[in-house]
Amino acid sequence: MAILEIKKYPEKVLKQKAKPVTLFDEDLQALIDNMIETMYAAPGVGLAAPQVGKSKRLAVIDISSKEYKYPLIVLINPVIVTCEGEVEFEEGCLSLPEYTAKVKRAETVVVNALDREGKAMEIEATDLLAVALQHEIDHLDGMLLIDRISPIKREFFKKRYKKSQKLGK
C-alpha cells in the first residue's frame, strides 16, 4: 500500500465529474487500499478518488474516530436517492487545507452504491455520516465545499488563497 498525493484546490481534477467505475479488478482494489491508507494518514474521515487525481466514482469514509460506531465504508458509483431535512455542519476538506466553513446539507440521506466487490448496498444515514456521504459525493460531481457557501464567503476564500500563494504558504 502507498500514501497518495492529495490534490489541492485549484487542481482541475477536483472540478470535473468523475467517471463511473465499470471494472472491479486488482487495480481498483489497490486504489481503494491506497485511498484508505491516505485518508487515515491525512488524517480525514473521507476521501474521494478525484482528490488523489483519479477520475473514478469511488470514495472511502470512516467516521468511527468521531464518536460514531460505523465501520469503514467503500462507496463505488454512489447515488443519493432521497434527502430530508436540513442541518448545518462545520466542514473541512483535505483538498482545502486549514479551511473550514459552515455548510447546509440534508439531515438524512439514503445512498445507493456498490461495495468494493461490486455488490449493491443501500445506506440510510443521519448526522455526521449523512454529511460525509454528501461531501464525498460532491467531490465525485466536481464540487468542493466552497461551492456550497455564499458567494461573498467564496470570494473571501479565493482572495485569502491567492494571498497565501503569493506568500509561499
pLDDT tens digit string along 121-140?
Answer: 999 999 999 999 999 999 99
What integer pLDDT is reported at residue 40 of this predicted model?
A: 95
**Which residues form the catalytic set?**
136
The reply to whether 6 falls in a domain is no
Which CATH number belongs to the domain containing residue 153 in this structure?
A: 3.90.45.10
Using CB atoms within 10 Å of the CB of residue 37, give its burial: 0 to 12 exposed, 13 to 18 middle, 19+ buried: middle
**60 part of a folded domain:** yes
- Is residue 24 included in any domain, yes or no? yes
Task: Give the chain's mean pLDDT.
Answer: 94
- Domain contains 62: yes
| Cβ atoms of residues 106 and 86 within 8 Å | yes
Could you tell me if residue 141 is inside a domain? yes
Handedness of CA 111, 127, 57, 62 (dihedral sign): negative
In a domain, 1, yes or no: no
Of the candidates 75, 66, 62, 92, which has an alpha carbon nearest to the alpha carbon of residue 32?
A: 75
pLDDT at residue 118 tops 80: yes
Per the structure, the count of domains in the chain is 1
Q: What are the pLDDT digits (tens) for 36-90? A: 999 999 999 999 999 999 999 999 999 987 666 678 999 999 999 999 999 999 9
**pLDDT value, residue 160:** 85
Assigned domain for 2 exists: no
Confirm whether 95 is domain-assigned.
yes
Query: d(Cα 96, Cα 136) in Å, to the nearest integer?
Result: 14
Please report, to the nearest 10 degrees, the dihedral formed by the alpha carbons of residues 136, 137, 141, 143 taken in order.
-40
pTM equals: 0.93
The domain of 20 spans: 12-166
Q: What is the pLDDT of residue 144?
A: 96
